[in-house]
Amino acid sequence: MSYQVLARKWRPANFKQMVGQEHVLQALGNALDSNRLHHAYLFSGTRGVGKTTIARIFAKSLNCEQGISSEPCGQCSSCSEVDQGRSVDLIEIDAASRTGVDDMRELLDNVQYAPTRSRFKIYLIDEVHMLSKHSFNALLKTLEEPPPHIKFLLATTDPQKVPVTVLSRCLQFNLKRMSKAQIVSQLLYLTEQEAVAADESALVQLASAADGSMRDALSLLDQAIGYGAGQVREDTVESMLGSISRDYLLRLLDALSLQQASVLISEARQVIDHNPDYQRVCAEMISLLQQIALYQSDPKLIIDDEPGAETLRKYSECWSPEEIQLYYQVMLQGRQDLLICPDEAAGFEMLMLRLVAFSPQPALVETSEEVKKKPEVIVTEAVSDAGRRDSGVTQERRESTTPDSTVPQSEAPAFTGSVAVPRKVVASPNTKSSQAEPGAAKSDEAKPCAGAVGDGLEAEAALDWSMLAYKLGLTGIAQELVANSQLQSYTDKRIVLQLPGELYELVNDLTRAEILQALQQKLGVSLSLELTATAGLTGETPLQAKKQRECDDRVSAIAAIRDDEMVKKLQHVFDAELDEASVVKIDSNG
C-alpha cells in the first residue's frame, strides 16, 4: 500500500476526533440529536481549520443507516462510502473550477431527483466565493426553498465575497484558527502514534510556522520527518524552516536593551551565520515584542507560555510601553523593507541599527580613551531600618574607574533613621566632560564653577526645581523619575535627588546616565548626580506641582470664560449653560 500523508491519514472521522472548533461542534451536535436541521450551512475560516472535514462528518451523520445522530456509526455502508469518497449522494463540487452559470444550471437540474440510496442528497460546494455572480443568482431560489431531500453545505475562506443574499439563506459558522497549544498537543499525539522521535521544541516551531492551520502543521510534520530521516529534531527543523533558535532572538533583545550598537551587530551576525529566513526572524521578533507589550498591560493577557513569564517580566521592566511600541513599528516597517533590499543580510544589520538609532535611550559607543575620562554618577540608597533590603545594606560598595575617583566620606548625605549606602556607577560617555582634552580639564577647573552652577540652579532649580524637571528634554522612565523626585541639595559639583522607594526600583545605569547628561547639557557645567531612595517624600514633586498649575490654570480659564461678555450674552439670550468639564488647555505650539 502506498504511503498516505498525515493530513489524510489522520483526518477526523467523527466530531470527537476534531481538535478545537467546540462552538461549531456543539451547535451541529445539538441540531443533529434534536433533529432540528436547516437546509443550508455555510462554514467559513482560514485554510486547514476543518471546514471540509466538518462538512463531511455532518453529511455522514445525516445519512448514517443507524439514524440521524451526532455520533455516526462509521461502520455502515453509507458511512464507509463517505469516508472513502465514493458516496453517490454526497456531491462535492469545487467552485473554483466550476464557476460558470452553465455548470450551476446543470447541477441544479438534478436537484429534483431523490437520493439514490441515502436519506438526503447533499451538495458540498467548496470555495463557494469563487462562483460567478450569475451562478449565485441561479443558486438563490433553490438555496432558499430546496426539496426536503436536499441539503447544501458550503465552505469558503473568504465569506466577504459571498453575496449577502446567499448568506441570509444559510446558517453561518465561523471556524477559528487553531491555537499553538492545540497544534502542539495534536503533533505530540501523532508522533507518538507514528513512533517518530520528536523534540517538543521542534514541534513548537512547526506549530508557529503553521500559523493556525492544522493541515499546514501536518504537512510540515511530514516534511520534517523526511528531512530528519525519520526524526524531528530542533536543529533540523530550524534548518528546514530557515528559522533560528529563540535563544538568538533573546540575545538580540538583550543587546538592544544595552543600547550598544557593536554588541547588537555582533549578535545579528550570529543570526546571519545561520542563513535564516529573515522574514520569519522579523516575524518572531515582532511576536516577542507583542507579548512584552501585553505583559506590560496585564500579565493575565498572555495566553502563550513562550518565552516564559520571567523573560517577559525582565523585558517589560527594561523598556517603557512607548519604546516597545516604537520597536514594534520599526520591525514591522523593516520587514517590508527587507523585501526590496538588494542584500537581505545587510538589510537585517541596518534594521538592527535602526532600532538603536531611533531609540529614545542614548546609544553607548565607547572607546578605551573615553572609558578613562567618563564622569561618574554616585547613587545612594537610603533604606529605613524597618525596610532594609538585605543584611548587607550597610556595607559600602565602591568601584573606582580612575585612581583618584573616590568620594570623601564627608560628602555622603546624612539621613535620620536610615542607612546611606553609596554606590558608584559609570555614567553615559555621551557628555561633554567625557570628551574633554586633558589640557582643557585643567582650564575648566579654573573656571568659577560654583558661580556658574549657582546661577543655573538658583535660576531654574533652587527657586523652581519643578520647572527645570520639565525642561531637561527627557522621555520615558527617566522623565517619570525626575518628575516624581525632589531636589534634596546641590553644591557646585553635585546634585542630590530623592525618589520614593517604589520608583527607585526602576532606576538603572541608563536612566542615571540619561538624567545626568540632560542636567549637564541644560546647566552647561560638569556635575555628579546622586539618586537616593526614601520611604516617603514630604515635599512637592515636579509632577504634583505641574498638576496644581494645570488645575489653577483651568480654574482661571473657567472664571475668565464666565466673565466674558459674549458668554454672558449667550447665557442670557439662549439660556445657555457653561459645560465646565469641556474646558481643556490648548497647546500654544499647535
Q: Which helix (H) or strand (E) holds 152?
A: strand 150-156
Lowest mean pLDDT among 47-56, 227-236, 417-426: 417-426
* Number of helices followed by number of strands (H, E) in the chain: 26, 12
Pick 579 or 323 by higher pLDDT.
Answer: 323
Domain that holds residue 192: 180-241
Task: Report the CATH number at residue 222.
Answer: 1.10.8.60
CB-based contacts of 75-84 (< 8 A; 24+ apart in sequence): 78/117, 78/118, 82/56, 83/13
Helix (H) or strand (E) holding 138: helix 133-144
**Could you read off the pLDDT of 406-422 as tens digits, one per residue?**
333 333 333 333 333 33
C-alpha cell at 176: 477559528
Whether the Cβ atoms of residue 354 and residue 334 lie closer than 8 Å to each other: yes
Instruction: Kindly report, residue by residue over 180-224, the tens digit of the pLDDT.
Output: 889 999 999 999 999 999 998 889 889 988 888 999 999 999 999
Residue 393 lies in a domain: no
The answer to the question of residue 378 being in a domain is yes
Beta bridge pairs of residue 91: 123
Instruction: Give me 477's grid cell.
Output: 522612565
What's this model's pTM, rounded to 2 decimal places? 0.55
136 belongs to a structural domain: yes
- The CA dihedral of 384, 428, 426, 525, to the nearest 10 degrees, is -80
Statement to judge: residues 14 and 125 lie in one domain: yes
In a shared domain, residues 132 and 68: yes
Higher-confidence position of 388 and 197: 197
Domain match, 250 and 126 both:
no
What domain count does the chain have?
5
At 89, list the grid cell: 449522494
Judging by beta carbons within 10 Å of its beta carbon (0-12, 13-18, 19+), is residue 531 exposed, middle or buried?
Answer: buried
In this structure, what CATH number is given to the domain that contains residue 379?
Answer: 3.30.300
- Same domain, yes or no: 114 and 63: yes
Indicate whether 401 belongs to any domain: no
Shared domain for 167 and 187, answered yes or no, is no
Query: What burial letters (b/e) apply to 228-238, b meaning 16+ CB within 10 Å?
Result: beeebbbebbb
Percent helix / strand / coil, the chain, rounded to 5: 55, 10, 35
379 and 528 both lie in a single domain: yes
Amino acid at 92: E
- Is position 557 within any domain? yes
184's enclosing H/E stretch is: helix 180-193
Q: Are residues 169 and 184 in the same domain?
A: no
Domain shared by 427 and 530, yes or no: yes
Q: Whole-angstrom Cα distance, residue 81 to residue 89? A: 10
The 3 state secondary structure assigned to 430-474 is CCCHHHCCHHHHHHHHHCCHHHHHHHHHHHHHHCCHHHHCCCCCC
- Of 225, 241, 257, the residue at which a domain comes to its end is 241
Same-domain pairing of 125 and 16: yes
Is residue 14 a part of any domain in this protein? yes
| Domain contains 398 | no
Instruction: Give DSSP secondary structure letters for 349-363.
Output: HHHHHHHHHT-SSPP
Provide the CATH number for the domain around residue 297.
Answer: 1.20.272.10
Same domain, 135 and 109: yes
Give yes or no: residues 577 and 498 share one domain: no
Q: With 90 as the cut, is the pLDDT of residue 28 above it? A: yes
Cα 221 from Cα 235, distance rounded (Å): 14
What is the dihedral sign for C-alpha 513, 514, 518, 521?
Answer: positive
Q: Is residue 407 part of a domain?
A: no
Final residue belonging to a domain, choices 206, 225, 241: 241
167 and 259 inside one domain? no
Q: Which of 119, 140, 174 is the last residue of a domain?
A: 174
Instruction: Output the pLDDT for position 172.
Output: 93
